[in-house]
Amino acid sequence: MTDDDLTLTSPITRVLQEDNPLPCLTIIWHPDWERIGDQAIIAGQNLHLSRYQPTFCKAEQNGLPLGHAGISRSPVELFVSTEGGVTINVPTSRMSVELDGREIHGSHQLSPEQISTGTIIGLGRAVLLCLHWLTALPQSNAIDGLIGVSSSIQKIRDLIRQVAPTDSAILLLGETGTGKEVVAQAIHSLSLHKQKPLVSVNMAALNEDLAAADLFGAAKGAYTGAQTARNGFFQEAEGTTLFLDEVGNTPANVQPMLLRVLETGDYRPLGSTKDLTTSARIIAATDQDLYGGGFNPALLRRLESFVINLPPLRNRREDLGVLIIHLMQSPSLENIADKNLSFTLLTQLATYDWPGNVRQLRHFLKRVLLGMANHTPITFASLVDTPPQRITYSAEPTHSYTPTTASPTEKQTRKKLTELSEDDVLIALDQNEWNIQSAAQALGISRPSMYKLIEANSKVRRVEIIPYDEIQQAWKTTNNDIEACASLLKTPAEALRRHLRGLALGNENIV
């Protein structure tokens, strides 16, 4: 078998399925950034990995070998066992070969479980590869914001294209930072409602007493202070898509009302005597376990008519390279000239499990590059809660979602809200780039509790009441940096991001 038999361009007759994957090598880092994301499938029993073989390529493109002068001509040999493991034989040469950040010599055996979490191979202190399983042949199927070359991202793109033209309700499940709002926006942009803007509602941020009025509207006099009739989010989303973020935090008294809307399309504004009908398309999202019994089971069954599970970043490690490049080219970082990350830092980045997922990776890269621009030494350990570690995770459920092990900050003792002052909340928000989830973890409280503290804090501003001119000026002053703009305006970054999208000023969300 020749090396050409082992590449993406060769005809592969084997059907790829979840229980019948192929090992694949993806370029996580290469001095030539254009090569990052290129892949080579190990379709036979062995592969010779050197400067000149095999060829790596992107989907439906011609391939090239790694080609870097720091990589030896003497090949590293990879043998695939009948049990699904891979043996790596390192040749005697001057080239350094690393496995998950540790230099290796001789022969090393990798189990199928190790490959499933993505094993990082470093060659010549210059090139990083991820050895992982491939369950779907790569194809060109780009969707704005959905960055990645992994099988899991490819399947999400396919699901989005499948469901977007329909009016089906959709439930997005995934950990915080995995890009649920990005997927919602992608579905909307490919839907029949794309001419109108998507309407986003953070269910955890709703006042429990007024949640029904916020969602469905209210008649004059429906509650104390209701001096005029008001429209709700469902009326605002008429003829477009309504995104119910953090739906797991929906107040219990509102859940039956949502169920009725999903089943019949009808709802009744608070205090009104007649029903209204909505044509809004519903997309809901949560990072919580809705199957634990606390969520309305009938509403859950109605929402799960079409479910998309978003994988955590640690389960798609092969996407790290293209994500890094995309993030470093974002508007907030494009003016930083020096983006030469050290090989050691890149290796640490590639072997870390990223409990905060893409959002944490974005914040990490921003702080690293800004530190480099200011000639401030940056170490990996100074920017993450725990040192790089590899953890074996169970496979994703097909129709349910189980939250993964909490990060160290999430395991800390919960604090009483009465113990926290307004300044405590402000300091936590400032230190965490006005990200609510991160600030809540830093304070040792839940995210819904953090929303309550923010709502009651006289020093935190609601983005809806900030004048447009002030937002526009802050956006320009901070060079289109969401977190810096949020800090300047003293408003949560998530709410600002949604508001900016509505103003068409910017969007950095990716998954």
The predicted structure's pLDDT at residue 59:
85
Of 38, 17, 18, 42, the C-alpha closest to 27 is 38
The reply to whether 412 falls in a domain is no
* Helix 493-503 vs helix 482-489: crossing angle, to nearest 10: 110
Exposure b/e, 327-347, CB count within 10 A at least 16 = b: bbebebbeeeeebebebeebb
The predicted structure's pLDDT at residue 221:
61
The predicted structure's pLDDT at residue 209:
79
**What is the percent of the chain where pLDDT is above 70?**
86
The predicted structure's pLDDT at residue 474:
86
Kindly state whether residues 174 and 256 are assigned to the same domain.
yes
Q: What is the mean pLDDT of the chain?
A: 84
The reply to whether 218 falls in a domain is yes
> Does the pLDDT at position 13 exceed 90?
no
Give, as one character, the DSSP assignment of residue 79: E
What is the C-alpha to C-alpha distance for residues 317 and 120, in angstroms, rounded to an integer?
A: 9
For residue 157, give its domain range. 151-309
Kindly state whether residues 118 and 167 are assigned to the same domain.
no
**What is the percent of the chain where pLDDT is above 90?**
47
> Does the pLDDT at position 238 exceed 80?
yes
Q: What is the dihedral of CA 379, 507, 244, 262, to 10 degrees?
A: -140
Q: Which amino acid is at 116?
A: S
The reply to whether 506 falls in a domain is no
The reply to whether 234 falls in a domain is yes
Kindly state whether residues 192 and 107 are assigned to the same domain.
no
Kindly state whether residues 81 and 206 are assigned to the same domain.
no
CATH number at 19 reads 2.60.200.20
Q: Specify the residue for token string 């699901």.
A: 159
Q: Specify the residue for token string 């959709």.
A: 170
> Does the pLDDT at position 392 exceed 70?
no
The predicted structure's pLDDT at residue 156:
95
The reply to whether 165 falls in a domain is yes
Q: pLDDT tens across 346-356, in order?
A: 999 999 999 98
The predicted structure's pLDDT at residue 473:
87
The predicted structure's pLDDT at residue 406:
38
Band of pLDDT at residue 502, cut at 50, 70 and 90: low
Q: Are strands 22-29 and 39-41 parallel, antiparallel or unpaired?
A: antiparallel
Of 146, 118, 142, 144, the C-alpha closest to 132 is 118
> Best-predicted range by mean pLDDT among 56-60, 97-101, 451-455?
97-101
- 39: which 2 tokens? 């892949």
Q: Looking at the DSSP assignment, which residues form a beta bridge with residue 415?
A: none
Last residue of a domain, one of 273, 294, 309: 309
> Does the pLDDT at position 400 exceed 50?
no
Kindly state whether residues 87 and 228 are assigned to the same domain.
no
Tell which wins on pLDDT, 113 or 293.
113
- The number of C-alpha atoms within 13 Å of 17 and in the hemisphere containing its C-beta is 4
Q: Report the predicted TM-score, pTM, of the whole model to 2 decimal places.
A: 0.80
Cis, peptide link before residue 165, omega less than 30° from 0: no
Band of pLDDT at residue 15, cut at 50, 70 and 90: very low
The reply to whether 39 falls in a domain is yes
Last residue of a domain, one of 281, 309, 337: 309
Kindly state whether residues 178 and 302 are assigned to the same domain.
yes
User: What is the mean pLDDT of the segment spanning 416-431?
Assistant: 84
> Does the pLDDT at position 27 exceed 90?
yes
Kindly state whether residues 155 and 304 are assigned to the same domain.
yes
User: What is the mean pLDDT of the segment spanning 234-251?
Assistant: 93
| Low-confidence winner among 103-112, 279-288, 384-393 (lowest mean pLDDT) | 384-393
**Helical H segments across 80-145, by residue range:** 112-116
The predicted structure's pLDDT at residue 41:
93
> Does the pLDDT at position 413 exceed 70?
no
The predicted structure's pLDDT at residue 287:
92
The reply to whether 401 falls in a domain is no
The predicted structure's pLDDT at residue 175:
93
- Residue 227 contacts residue 220 (beta carbons within 8 Å): yes
Tell which wins on pLDDT, 254 or 396.
254
Tell me the three state secondary structure of residue 438.
helix
The predicted structure's pLDDT at residue 440:
82
- Residue 279 contacts residue 238 (beta carbons within 8 Å): yes
What is the C-alpha to C-alpha distance for residues 503 and 481, in angstroms, rounded to an integer?
A: 15
| Low-confidence winner among 204-213, 297-306, 352-361 (lowest mean pLDDT) | 204-213
What is the C-alpha to C-alpha distance for residues 36 and 64, in angstroms, rounded to an integer?
A: 12
Q: Specify the residue for token string 């920017």.
A: 383
What is the C-alpha to C-alpha distance for residues 132 and 318, in angstroms, rounded to an integer?
A: 7
Q: pLDDT tens across 67-125, in order?
A: 999 999 999 999 998 888 999 999 988 999 999 999 999 999 999 999 999 999 999 99
Angle (CA) 327-328-329 rounded to 5° is: 90
- 284: which 2 tokens? 């809901």
- 417: which 2 tokens? 């809200």
The predicted structure's pLDDT at residue 393:
28
- Residue 278 contacts residue 234 (beta carbons within 8 Å): yes
Band of pLDDT at residue 404, cut at 50, 70 and 90: very low
Kindly state whether residues 176 and 103 are assigned to the same domain.
no
Kindly state whether residues 125 and 208 are assigned to the same domain.
no
User: What is the mean pLDDT of the segment spanning 251-272?
Assistant: 90
The predicted structure's pLDDT at residue 350:
96
User: What is the mean pLDDT of the segment spanning 446-460?
Assistant: 85
Give, as one character, the DSSP assignment of residue 19: T
User: What is the mean pLDDT of the segment spanning 302-313?
Assistant: 94
> Does the pLDDT at position 1 exceed 60?
no
Task: Please give the span between the terminal C-alpha atoms of the chain, in angstroms, as a whole number.
Answer: 38
The predicted structure's pLDDT at residue 303:
93
Band of pLDDT at residue 331, cut at 50, 70 and 90: confident
User: What is the mean pLDDT of the segment spanning 286-302?
Assistant: 90
> Does the pLDDT at position 5 exceed 50?
no
Structural domains in the chain (count): 2
Kindly state whether residues 156 and 305 are assigned to the same domain.
yes
Kindly state whether residues 176 and 95 are assigned to the same domain.
no
458, with CB counted inside 10 A (0-12, 13-18, 19+), is exposed
Last residue of a domain, one of 76, 104, 137: 137
What is the C-alpha to C-alpha distance for residues 359 and 181, in angstroms, rounded to an integer?
A: 12
The predicted structure's pLDDT at residue 389:
47
The reply to whether 76 falls in a domain is yes
Kindly state whether residues 82 and 205 are assigned to the same domain.
no
Q: pLDDT tens across 365-388, in order?
A: 988 888 887 877 777 887 776 544
Q: Where are the beta strands (DSSP E) in 175-305?
A: 199-202, 241-245, 266-267, 276-277, 281-286
| Low-confidence winner among 54-68, 163-177, 481-495 (lowest mean pLDDT) | 481-495
